[in-house]
Amino acid sequence: MDKNEVMLKHQAEICIIEAFYGGSHKQLVDLIEQELRLINKPYGLYTMSAKKWHWRARCSALYFSQNIPKDHNYRIIFASSVLNLVELIALRPDLAKTKKVVYFHENQLIYPVQSQSTRNKNQIENKQQRDFQYGYNQILTSLVADRIYFNSRYNKTTFLANINTFLKQMPDNRIRLNIQNDLEPKCFVLYFPINLDQSLIDSIINETILNQMIDTLNIEKYTNRPISILWSHRWEHDKNPNEFFQALFKLQDMNIDFRVHVIGEQFTDVPDIFNEAKERLKTKIENWGYLSSKFEYYQVLSKCDLIISTSLHEFFGVSVIEACLFGAYPILPNRLVYPELYPKECLYSTEAQLVKKLKQICSRPKQFRLIRQAKSSDKSLSEIIIDMKNNFDKFKWDFLKKDFVSIFEL
């Protein structure tokens, strides 16, 4: 950091804090930072790497209390809900006078707890207590915040509606205040911004089509090649990979051909189903493992016909929208945030319905592709895709950036 940057940071009225600087959290901070630079608004940025999420939620307030300078002019704090804002303000009372804005990428009040059937009673009780703490921290953070933004209506609704139920887990001295009514007036929905240049999308798609046609050297083989299925979610239990792979196993048992790309981010504890799937689907796999290069990631998206989610915990779903922008058709569970963002034709309610949808598409790849490209008399699917892409305009950074910038004018 040069002398001018140090001076600007000292003069800054905006303090941006991200305790988990990776993935969508990093994407959002980087976009805000880029825009603040363009409009010459000085800011201070304080981050921690995107590792050990649970420890960031527990301990980041102490870290930031020691790293945010005490000699500052901060007027507003912008942070994600990973940070325990109450602890930070208690440790740094000089920050109490600032306007405090919190952005919820997710909420912990409805997080699906992994089955602990193999643990003894004390271990299960300890696990439940640890899980309670994360949601409790988010409630406290909301109470001290001046304004709260959620990345979807579903996120906002489920957070507010579950506060009382969540707090009833307390064994005694339960809180009877109507916290939901206190919080609701300062809660707003501000969709997560997607920043993808359409010319880049078109360029990558055109290059992919050209390469695929060269590989097949036959238009019939090109349109009738096996359907490519994408999994681009985190390799964790809340994304419900078991249901996804069980559906693919059933397709394989029915001798239905397909290809699969499994490219989501991996962490320390990977569910066992991934090792099983890698062995059982080895003749179907085209990509396996996280892609750190954005360009390579976009290239894979452009090759995929379908993007599947089986998630048990989703409040927006950046990877699904990105895949759709590159031409993939979504097949998603009729729960969580998905009914808010996608037409009902893209949704399924049971695992059997998921398998049925996959079977219908994978059994007739040519017909599916012709309909998608509006080259068939059946226009219903192509119209759904067009309407869905038009609806995605409201998630684009160019549309949303004025709303994010206005946060810093409170």
Residue 185 backbone phi and psi in degrees, to 5:
-65, -20
| Residues 96 and 227 reside in one and the same domain | no
| Residues 251 and 382 reside in one and the same domain | yes
Domain range for 22: 3-114+127-193+398-407
| Residues 184 and 211 reside in one and the same domain | no
Residue 122 lies in a domain: no
Residue 343 exposed, middle or buried by CB count within 10 Å (0-12, 13-18, 19+):
middle
Predicted confidence at residue 281, as pLDDT, reads 98
CATH number at residue 58: 3.40.50.2000
Residue 119 lies in a domain: no
Q: Which amino acid is at 339?
A: P
| Residues 140 and 264 reside in one and the same domain | no
User: Other C-beta atoms within 10 Å of 119: how many?
Assistant: 12
Cα torsion 338, 32, 324, 354 to 10°: value is -30
User: Other C-beta atoms within 10 Å of 168: how many?
Assistant: 10
| Residues 93 and 212 reside in one and the same domain | no
Residue 120 lies in a domain: no
Whole-model pTM: value is: 0.89
Residue 70 exposed, middle or buried by CB count within 10 Å (0-12, 13-18, 19+):
exposed
| Residues 281 and 179 reside in one and the same domain | no
Residue 51 lies in a domain: yes
* Residues 134 and 238: beta-carbon distance below 8 Å: no
Residue 137 lies in a domain: yes
| Residues 284 and 251 reside in one and the same domain | yes
Residue 101 lies in a domain: yes
| Residues 169 and 224 reside in one and the same domain | no
Predicted confidence at residue 386, as pLDDT, reads 74
* Residues 348 and 332: beta-carbon distance below 8 Å: yes
| Residues 294 and 317 reside in one and the same domain | yes
Q: How far apart are CA 209 and CA 99, in angstroms?
A: 50
Instruction: Provide the token pair at 25.
Output: 């959290």
Predicted confidence at residue 209, as pLDDT, reads 83
| Residues 148 and 98 reside in one and the same domain | yes
Q: How far apart are CA 272 and CA 287, in angstroms?
A: 18
| Residues 402 and 343 reside in one and the same domain | no
Predicted confidence at residue 122, as pLDDT, reads 43
| Residues 226 and 373 reside in one and the same domain | yes
Residue 98 lies in a domain: yes
Residue 121 lies in a domain: no
**Residues of the chain below pLDDT 70:** 1-10, 114-130, 175-177, 217-218, 373-382
Tally of domains in the chain = 2
pLDDT tens by residue, 287-323: 999 998 999 999 999 999 999 999 999 999 999 999 9
